[in-house]
Chain A
């Protein structure tokens, strides 16, 4: 497509269709579902971070009046090892063991039993009657401890993958990966200057405001209906069926509105438990995590340790980049080490690089995806060191990046050559931006950093139904997290040539929408958007057939413009244009209702690049850092709804600022999290943040009809380093471990 295309609806900023219900409280979220006869399920969680379960006795709790069901791991079927497929991967056996521990608990908060009772209060009281006998083991809480030769082993059956020869002894290192290109040693020999350092990031949570919640009801025939808050109801269906050994078609999943996910709601925790409790009790079972459970038992993002080394010539040209990186996976293998390793050096042209990565299990909750999983940790390290390199070279940090920036035709570090990308454009915008050059006061600092994320395509389905008055229904299968109903409606309106206000979008359940991968990977506007466009094109094709039949013309003699069928230029037909409404009104006489559909496996997701400018003020007496300015610049390909793209940029910036300055899981020596609540786990609130300025760059993705590339994840990648670089600029000291909490900043200032 051409960037010069003038769109009628795309690029406008209408109010989102779900907006009124969400701001007035009418919208139904996960915990809002209720059914007659409903009872409440709660989970007993491990008080130990690492222990063998020697015995669980549910007999006392089952005798209690008002208790309808009680289960432990023994009540679940055995699940064999196997790839989960879908969007996030993983292993079903691990998933099952994470949902309900079998022989061993692997983190404080790991589910060991569940009960369903007449009231939630009674269910909570009843947990005290469950007797569990544990053999307590030493908790392994850090990467250093887990990778030590004498470390306590979490899983005696786990041997490190990716090493040759195959190891003889089990390890907490689940896998080792390696990427390389060129001659790394020669690359460093060619360098005029070499910088190196190591960086650490803590365990952090996505911090979605809505806790995990579901309601399950299973009938006497074994058919279950599940209402839940999720990023992907088809994946919930698949996971629940696997964990409970049920037929996929016996589970219907109805997605609620979702109060944030950011990757954390691509995972199943209590949904299969609720179905099992419902099956045993014969009643609908509702389960809602409290915030403490969300922190202790749902997947955070990996803590990381990265050593980076960069070599460059005196003109800034990079000659070599190398890194060693280890990510915590939590209790079960499967951190985001692979994407982290694939993207750490991706923004730059460098002939020689070497990347070594490790996926490491520790006694913390199993990590889950968090916006661009792996990239923020990895690029915090790389972009911090690029800032140091610029300082050593006495070079503008944006200019250093421009000298080395990847562009169309360059081979990415992860393999293929880039098609059209907008990294250089983002850098140029940043360089010219007034926020990059405005004067700072004493104690203030400015930092820049680049961000990258792949974005993905994958499978999507959509239907477009034309009502009898020509209004349009779009049926899709992606829960709307970031305003996707609006973007789907805009693309349908643009394609069909009907006003946006005449289009309605329905997020349908697993029985009423075609299979669709999760809302994640920044894929919905790209991939599901393509399905909606194709379904709308199907409608146009049918509408042209109906018009041709009405006018007694051949189908190829009819064109479609501005929502109307018209004769092709040169066709001699004395007819009035037929609107979609008129064609729909007459559809009974021309073949029946108009129903378009499309399903696809989308390829060609456009990589996303960003540049952030952070400005901070550091109080040298308290160590407190205030972000006084933040500018997020990103290539969106084409912003279908610019306000929601800006919202993604601002939201990612806010989360990244929290990651940089405040957020971390704090554990005691027994592996018990000490700050499992929003009072002590401090995510940024509005008063913590300045207005976040945005600039949308539009370098069209040629693989999408309207040029879209995903935008949801890239915004969280650059803020960590941008803020860290700004703090470095303000205090003159490089702090290499996040968060840059007041105590850590003060310690660094005092130690300088």
Chain B
């Protein structure tokens, strides 16, 4: 099961849970499963957001793979110069 960590700005969408366990193989599936558990969070997680999967940050992760023991963190997209 992958461990999903929610930052402060998403706590309102996940019943204030800091972390949950999810069995998913892709980011798309992970979002779908999270939305079943926390209706409405899927829309938030499908908008402009970055995700760190096992420490690797990815913009627009959609099809990114999720491992059995992956750690998933959601991040605000980082603008840069």
Contact = CB atoms under 8 A, between A and B. Distances in A.
Q: Judge: A and B partners, yes or no.
A: yes
Interface of A: 83, 85, 87-89, 162, 164, 177-180, 206, 261-264, 266, 336, 338-339, 342, 368-373, 414-419, 453-459, 520-523, 601, 603-605, 703, 713
B78 A178 contact: no
A123 B50 CA distance: 46
A604 B12 CA distance: 28
Contacts of B71: 416-417
Contacts, number: 104
B74 to A, nearest CB: 7
Which of A164, A523, A601 has the most B CB atoms < 10 Å from its CB?
A601
B79 A373 contact: yes
A177 B75 contact: no
A11 B78 CA distance: 29
B15 interface: no
B81 A266 contact: yes
Contacts of B48: 83, 85, 89
A453 B81 CA distance: 11
B57 A369 contact: no
Interface string B34-59: 00000000000001100011111111
B80 A263 contact: yes
Contacts of A458: 59
A415 B8 contact: no
B80 A416 contact: no
B7 A372 contact: no
B21 interface: no
A313 B75 CA distance: 31
Contacts of B9: 162, 177-178
A416 B81 contact: no
A603 B58 contact: yes
Nearest to A263: B81
Nearest to A418: B55
Given A85-B48, A416-B57, A342 B80 contact: no
A521 B80 contact: yes
Contact of B8 (A88, A180, A453): A180
B81 A456 contact: no
A415 B7 contact: yes
B79 A87 contact: yes
Given A263-B81, A373-B81, 8 more contacts: A85-B48, A178-B9, A179-B7, A263-B80, A372-B81, A416-B75, A455-B80, A604-B56
B81 A264 contact: yes
Nearest to B18: A181
A461 to B, nearest CB: 15
A370 B78 contact: no
Nearest to B47: A83
Which of B8, B75, B81 has the most A CB atoms < 10 Å from its CB?
B81
B56 A369 contact: no
Nearest to B77: A89
Contacts of B47: 83
Contacts of A89: 48, 77, 79
Contacts of B29: none
23 contacts: A83-B47, A85-B48, A87-B80, A89-B77, A164-B12, A262-B81, A264-B81, A342-B78, A368-B81, A415-B52, A415-B73, A416-B54, A416-B71, A418-B55, A455-B80, A457-B58, A521-B79, A521-B80, A603-B58, A603-B59, A603-B61, A604-B57, A713-B81
Contacts of A414: 75
A164 B79 CA distance: 26
B18 to A, nearest CB: 10
Contact of B55 (A261, A419, A523): A419
B64 A603 contact: yes
Contacts of B60: 601
Contacts of A373: 79-81
